[in-house]
Structure 1
Amino acid sequence: MAVETGRSVAPAAGGDARGRGRGTGGAPGKTPGPLRRALATHWYAWAMVAPVVTVIGVIIGYPLVRGIYLSLTDADEANVARTIGVNEIEASHEFVGLDNYQAILTDGVFWDRLGWTVLWTVGCVSITFLLGLVLASMLNRKVRGRTVYRMALILPWGIPAFVSVFAWRMLYNEKNGILNQLLAGGGIDGIPWLGDPTWAKISVIAVNVWLGVPFMLVAMLGAMQGIPGELLEAAEMDGANAWQRFRNVVLPGIRSVSSTVILLSTIWTFNMFPVIFLLTRGGPGDSTEILVTYAYRLSFIVSPRDFASSAAWGVLILLLLSAFAVVYRRSLRKQGEVW
């Protein structure tokens, strides 16, 4: 009986060993993959992130996929699915491939809008960055009333953009605007701020700069205050003047922050719909029309509304910004700024 018992126990023990060898991976001695290890180790973090990822996928992912699909069709107001009273009309649009992109890229309208959009973006971002840098340098010093100045300069950031734009629209009024009244008081003829193509472009850039300076100011000021004071003191003891300290200590110290805010400001300005549309509606004529406002016009203003072309314009805008972000990131990596 003892021998039989031993024989019966041995296979069971071997079976347990083989079972332990398999573990949860199946094959004996096989270690779990990196994805499984990450899930097992950081399951709580994944559980917390999952709802956010799901919401973003629904809010951003679905419209993006839908827009790409529409850009490959001839969908417009007359052939999409719609309901009229109790009648439901099915969609009759067809797949046309890349015809919409070919039509856009061979049309001078796209290149004219792209040229002004690039000029508008470069002008706004450059002026905003320089003003934010100068103001941050001034407020980084110990001056009387610094808190009041900070609040006054950050105030435009706290006002909704559409409210600010409407306020500026009243200031730019050619007959009753405060700006032309001030000019008239000095014996200067009024300026057609929004009626002349050149002045309209200057006007929209000025409004966008006014809206963007507070963000740049806060970012630059925070970066400057993060620079160790010992570096500035050491440079001053070595005989460096204020400009040399700024160029050799401050600018390198804020490079990582400035490169990031420049990228963000570029993306925001490239797609700055409210300022252009609410201030000039792309006018006079189409002189201030940027890519995003023209895409909106195709989808919601012109008749019949051209959903396919509007979606194609949107996809091209996304591709342009993605290409810029990739090139910009590579240039930063070459300079040693990795983010």
Structure 2
Amino acid sequence: MTIRSNKWIAWLFLTPVLVVMALLVFYPLVQGIIYSFTDMNQYNMGSKFAPPSWTFVGLDNYVDLFASFFKPDSVFRDVIVQTLVWTFVNVFFHFVIGLGLALLLNRNIKGRGIYRMLLMVPWAVPSFVSAFSWTWMYNQTYGLFNIILQKLGFSPIPWLGDSFWAMVSVIMVNVWVGVPFMMITLLGGLQSIPPSLYEAARVDGASPWSQFWNITLPLLRPVAATATVLGVIWTFNMFTIIFLVTRGGPVRSTEILVTYAYREAFLNWNFGMAATYGVVILSFLLAFTVLYRRLIKANSNEGVYY
């Protein structure tokens, strides 16, 4: 009887959270999935002056979208490739730089608390503030980067005017914003590793590299796996940085799926196709999460399931 009452108490405390999640997450999600099977646009969506007249079109949006993937000048294919490049490069640098900083901050160095605080600033500052600041520094004539390059005798770089440099520019901004999260997460994982393991390894004559490879990485794997999944999800859906810095340009060279879905909805007013892009994004992330978790489990030597 006591256990049952405790369960009801738990559900009682969870009810407000579940209600908020249902209203803010699940209801819009289901509604977006439904809209992806319609031809909704600005003319048939309805208003206070006219009732909605959109109709269900079944899988037509999905068929049209994936059929366009095989066209020679497919924008959808280019956007997918750019999204994958954007996500992989950002998460790679997030993890590598974050792990390096975490290893440094895990050592007993003077002023470690101050360094941690300073390295958390990019994450504490709102992303739109960082985007505007970096956009100013990318200015071809008056930007900080090109002024420094000209002082050193180099030609100015068209940071936001060239397709390649525009992608480099937004990646630099997102790496700046995302590294602190990865650093602090991995630092927490490092501090949970028992120091006695390293002491035993040093007694056995293990080198620092051997300790890192055989102790640090295996025991850090659960934390790293979770942080990587979160990093992929956030980077895949990073709308703010790209939209505020380049707006997907020049000539869609920095467009990713989430910004293109926004363009389809609020510039082309094709809500049905925009919802289809949203479902495709969700499918990509679900497939990656499931596959990544299975690979981590298969490669785990500790029998840990997460």
Give SS of 2:120's match.
helix
Which of 7, 13, 16 pairs up with 1:42? 7
Counterpart Cα distance in 1 of 2:33 and 2:222: 34
Which of 14, 18, 28 pairs up with 1:53? 18
| Structure 2 residue 305 is the aligned partner of structure 1 residue 338 | yes
| Structure 2 residue 263 is the aligned partner of structure 1 residue 297 | yes
Partner of 1:92: 53
| Structure 2 residue 212 is the aligned partner of structure 1 residue 246 | yes
Q: Are the counterparts in 2 of residues 195 and 284 from structure 1 also a CA contact under 8 Å?
A: yes
- State the shift of 1:297 in Å: 0.5
- After the TM superposition, which segments of 4 or more aligned residues of structure 1 sit over 6 Å from their partners? none
- State the shift of 1:318 in Å: 0.5
1:305-331 Cα offsets, whole Å, 9 max, x none, are 100000010011101111111111212
Which of 138, 146, 151 pairs up with 1:185? 151
Q: Are the counterparts in 2 of residues 39 and 46 from structure 1 also a CA contact under 8 Å?
A: no
Give 1:64's aligned amino acid.
L
1:127-162 Cα offsets, whole Å, 9 max, x none, are 110000011111111111212211111111110000
| Structure 2 residue 32 is the aligned partner of structure 1 residue 67 | yes
Give SS of 1:162's match.
helix
Counterpart Cα distance in 2 of 1:80 and 1:163: 34
Give SS of 1:89's match.
coil
Task: Considering Cα pairs closer than 8 Å and 6+ residues apart, tell me whether 1 or 2 has the greater RCO.
Answer: 2
Equivalence map 1:24-173=2 (5 Å):
40-83=5-48, 88-107=49-68, 108-173=74-139
Partner of 1:225: 191
Partner of 1:322: 286
Q: Are the counterparts in 2 of residues 133 and 217 from structure 1 also a CA contact under 8 Å?
A: yes
Counterpart Cα distance in 2 of 1:38 and 1:307: 48
Cα distance change on mapping 1:171 and 1:227 into 2, 3 Å: same
Give SS of 1:152's match.
helix
Normalising by structure 2, report the TM-score.
Answer: 0.95
Cα distance change on mapping 1:39 and 1:273 into 2, 3 Å: farther
1:235-275 Cα offsets, whole Å, 9 max, x none, are 01111121111111111121110010000000000000001
Which of 186, 201, 209 pairs up with 1:235? 201
Partner of 1:16: none
- State the shift of 1:40 in Å: 4.5
Give 1:97's aligned amino acid.
G
Give 2:276's aligned amino acid.
A
Give 2:51's aligned amino acid.
E
Normalising by structure 1, report the TM-score.
Answer: 0.86
Segments of structure 1 that go 5 or more residues without pairing to the other structure are 1-35
Counterpart Cα distance in 2 of 1:38 and 1:64: 35
Counterpart Cα distance in 2 of 1:287 and 1:337: 41
- State the shift of 1:37 in Å: 10
Give 1:56's aligned amino acid.
M
Equivalence map 1:185-224=2 (5 Å):
185-224=151-190
Counterpart Cα distance in 2 of 1:231 and 1:49: 40
1:165-187 Cα offsets, whole Å, 9 max, x none, are 10000010001000000001011
Give the number of aligned pairs: 298
**Quick check: 237-246 or 163-172, which moved more?**
237-246
- State the shift of 1:337 in Å: 3.8
Counterpart Cα distance in 2 of 1:104 and 1:55: 33
**Quick check: 105-114 or 220-229, which moved more?**
105-114
